[in-house]
Structure 1
Amino acid sequence: MASRLGNTVSFKRFMLRTEVLKLYRDILRAIRQVPDPDHKRELKEWARHDFKQNKHHQDEETIKMMLTKGRMSLKELESAIHLAR
């Protein structure tokens, strides 16, 4: 029974990791649409820095909260890019 529980936890962790990686890719895709190369570089650095700074978190609820915050930031970024066009 304990091994099944261990697999469940690792599956949850796998799913969270998948969501984090998807968010990171989505942010990088959005940044590609920025026309100014300097802004594009700054935004990439910002994204890398934030993800690296927070990769140590292990608590599932903390990660979910950070995913929510990251998705909101992505929406704001996409809005700003859309308005700038």
Structure 2
Amino acid sequence: MSKAAKPVLSLKHFILKQEVKNLYRRIFRAIKHVHDPQHRQELKEWVRTDFRANAHHVDETTIKMYIKYGERCLKELENTIHLSK
């Protein structure tokens, strides 16, 4: 039995995929600094749900738009965490 081969990504899509993974990791690293465990768990669930809901996008422009949106959310989260200290 052979598994169906995954489609080969273009270089641009490969780079975008890496950017998305790095953004995901950065968001989870920031969430670790949230003091309230319940709020931390809610944030984790929100991030997972949001990333899964948008995983089907293949258009380069759309992916870039969502990366920018995620970076703005991350910056807002980091600012909020910093202000709460």
Gaps of 5+ in 2: 1-7
Alignment of 1:60-71 (within 5 A): 60-71=60-71
The Cα RMSD (Å) is 1.1
- Give aligned pairs, total: 78
Structure 2 partner of 1:33: 33
> Does residue 1:48 correspond to 2:48, yes or no?
yes
* TM score, norm. by length of structure 2: 0.89
How far apart are the structure 2 equivalents of 1:48 and 1:80?
Answer: 20
TM-score, normalised to structure 1, is: 0.89
Q: Supply the AA of the counterpart residue of 1:50.
A: D
- List, as ranges, runs of 4+ consecutive aligned residues in structure 1 with deviation greater than 2 Å: none
Name the structure with the higher helix share: 1
Q: Give the CA deviation at 1:84.
A: 0.6
Q: Which runs of 5+ in 1 are unaligned?
A: 1-6
